Amino acid sequence: MCHLRSIHVDIRTETAWVQCGATLGELFSAIAEKSPTHAFPAGVCPTYGNLMRKHGLSVDNVVDARLVDARGEILDRESMGEDLFWAIRGGGPSFGVVLAYRVKWQHFAPAAHVDLFVRVLVEVVKKTSRRPRNLVHLKRKSDYVQRPIDRPGLEAIWRKMMEVEVVKMAFNPYGGRMSEIAAEATPFPHRAGNLWKIQYQVNWDEGGAEAERRHVALCREMYDYMTPYVSRNPRASFLNYKDLDLGVNGGGGGAAAAEGYGRSYFKGNFDRLVKIKSKVDPHNLFRHEQSVPTYLCKPKL
Q: What is the mean pLDDT of residues 191-201?
A: 95
pLDDT in tens, 76-116: 999 999 999 999 999 999 999 999 999 987 655 444 454 65
pLDDT in tens, 114-164: 465 666 677 776 666 556 566 689 999 999 999 999 999 999 999 999 999
Whose CA is closest to 115, among 58, 175, 180, 170? 175
Task: Out of 5-9, 48-52, 101-105, 215-219, pick the least confident.
Answer: 48-52
The predicted structure's pLDDT at residue 115: 60
The predicted structure's pLDDT at residue 112: 43
pLDDT in tens, 222-252: 999 999 999 999 999 999 999 999 999 875 5
Reading phi first (left if > 0) and then psi (alpha if -120 to 50, else beta), residue 3 is in alpha
- Quote the mean pLDDT of the chain: 88
CB 172 within 8 A of CB 196: yes
- Per residue in 15-32, is it b (16+ CB within 10 Å) or e — as a string? bbbbbeebebeebeebbe
Helix (H, G, I), strand (E, B) or coil at 59: helix
Q: Which of 33-37, 44-48, 214-218 has the highest mean pLDDT?
A: 214-218
CB 5 within 8 A of CB 26: yes
Bond preceding residue 234 cis, omega within 30 of 0:
yes
pLDDT in tens, 240-295: 999 999 999 875 556 777 999 999 999 999 999 999 999 999 999 999 999 999 98
Helix 151-164 and helix 209-225, axial crossing angle in degrees, nearest 10:
170
In this prediction the pTM is 0.85
Q: What confidence category does residue 50 fall into, taking pLDDT thresholds of 50, 70 and 90?
A: confident
**In angstroms, rounded to a whole number, what is the distance separating the alpha carbons of residues 27 and 250?**
36
Listed in sequence order, the residues at least 6 apart from 125 whose beta carbon sits closer than 8 Å to its beta carbon are none
Q: What is the mean pLDDT of residues 14-35?
A: 91
**In angstroms, rounded to a whole number, what is the distance separating the alpha carbons of residues 32 and 21?**
19
Q: What is the mean pLDDT of residues 161-187?
A: 93
**In angstroms, rounded to a whole number, what is the distance separating the alpha carbons of residues 273 and 186?**
10
CB 105 within 8 A of CB 16: yes
CB 41 within 8 A of CB 251: no
Domains along the sequence of the chain with CATH: 7-107 (3.30.465.10), 120-229 (3.40.462.20), 248-301 (no CATH)
**In angstroms, rounded to a whole number, what is the distance separating the alpha carbons of residues 143 and 160?**
17
DSSP-derived secondary structure letter, 48: B
